[in-house]
Amino acid sequence: MRQLLNLLLATILFFLQACNKNTTPPATTYEMTFKKNGISDTLMPYYCAIQPNSTMPSETMFMIVAKSKNDSVHFGVTIQVNGNITTGVYETINGSGSYPVIADYFMNVNHPTERDYSIDNAPGQPNASFKVTLTSITDKQVIGTFTGNYLYDRFADESIIITEGSFVAKRHN
């Protein structure tokens, strides 16, 4: 009887161990990567949403904001269009009169030397432009790429170049 009980217990333990295999795919890494002035950087998205514009109900907004671990850098991209946000390419060319994409790169956040680089025309430079490609939109996440020719801080008269960007962000509703 004892051998039968041991065999039964061993079979149950084996069965439980076999059923306990982790078949869940690994968690997605949410991050934003890009090159700033040719140097690679990675920020962590902390807000990403697609929602109606509260002041213009016919417009829909996509917004992603990411920040550095020490909270000194924030980078945000907003797309605003009539109708719905879908996968595809969205682009702002400053000087065109149409601004469906807005990008802001904040450096030294909450310090006296804080800088806000945005889509603005720098003296003697071509018009600023920024392009975002949304490649996947689900209820849980948004995936995309972005690039620009430069972002400009008018008050400091400084430019930065943001290129080769990509993101995977958890979608907030």
Per-residue pLDDT at 10: 34
Per-residue pLDDT at 137: 97
Amino acid residing at 119 = I
Residues forming a β-bridge with 85: none
- CA–CA gap between residue 60 and residue 90 (Å, rounded): 13
- CA–CA gap between residue 95 and residue 152 (Å, rounded): 14
H or E element that contains 125 = none
User: Is 111 in contact with 164 (CB distance < 8 Å)?
Assistant: no
For the whole model, what pTM was predicted? 0.80
Mean pLDDT for back-to-back runs of 10 residues, the chain (173 residues): 32 37 58 97 96 88 96 96 94 77 95 94 91 97 96 95 97 88
Per-residue pLDDT at 56: 85
User: Is 121 in contact with 150 (CB distance < 8 Å)?
Assistant: no
How is residue 122 written in tokens? Answer: 């720098």
What does 79-116 look like in DSSP terms, one character per residue?
Answer: EEEES---SEEEEEETTSS--SEEEEEEESTTSTT-EE
Per-residue pLDDT at 99: 77
Backbone phi, psi, residue 87, to 5° = -65, 150
- CA–CA gap between residue 70 and residue 54 (Å, rounded): 31
Per-residue pLDDT at 27: 53
